Every structure is written in C-alpha cells, then in structure tokens.
Amino acid sequence: MDYDEKMKKVCPVCGSSDLYYEVGGYMGMIYHCKNCDYIGALVVEANQEMIDQIREEYESTDDDDVKEDDDNTSE
C-alpha cells in the first residue's frame, strides 16, 4: 500500500464516508452512518481500493436481501 494515498474514515458496513458523531466523550466516539444507519464505535480508515471493495460487498449483500424478501412474499 502506498502511504501517500489519502485515507478516509468510512462506514464498515457500506463504505460511505457520510458519517457523523452520534455521541462522544468519556466512553469514546459512536458514529452514525447516514447511508445505511449503522451506529457503532468502529469505523474503517481506508484508501479508495478498500472503499470500493466494501461498497461492492454491501451492494451484493443488499441485492441478496431483496431477492430473499421477494421469495418469502410469494408463500
């Protein structure tokens, strides 16, 4: 990895950098992702390649969930 690459804090679920602090202070920071509603202390510092991989995985998982929901409604 090239250490000159720009690293961003992103959501570990969807790869979005649209995060804000939900709470912070004595117990540490809690982040909230505006894209997928993730709330937690863990964020990932990632370069663009890692962000793309997280987003690809999230989108493929999201598509699978929609397909499963469609299968369940036909019963």
* Residue 52 domain-assigned (yes or no): yes
* Residue 45 domain-assigned (yes or no): yes
At residue 22, the pLDDT reads 83
* Residue 2 domain-assigned (yes or no): no
* Residue 65 domain-assigned (yes or no): yes
* Residue 13 domain-assigned (yes or no): yes
CA distances from 73 to 14, 27, 55 (A): 26, 42, 27
Read off the pTM.
0.71
* Residue 46 domain-assigned (yes or no): yes
Q: Degrees (nearest 5) of the Cα angle 51, 56, 57?
A: 100
* Residue 59 domain-assigned (yes or no): yes
pLDDT band at 64 (very low <50, low <70, confident <90, very high): low
31/38 Cα distance (integer angstroms): 8
User: pLDDT tens-digit profile of 6-35?
Assistant: 999 999 999 999 999 888 777 788 999 999
pLDDT, greater one: 48 or 3? 48
The DSSP H or E segment spanning 44 is strand 44-46
pLDDT, greater one: 27 or 75? 27
Locate 1 and state its tokens: 């990895």
Beta bridge partners of 8: 46
Number of domains in the chain: 1
- Full domain range(s) for residue 30: 8-73
pLDDT band at 69 (very low <50, low <70, confident <90, very high): low
The residue to which tokens 């909230």 are assigned: 32
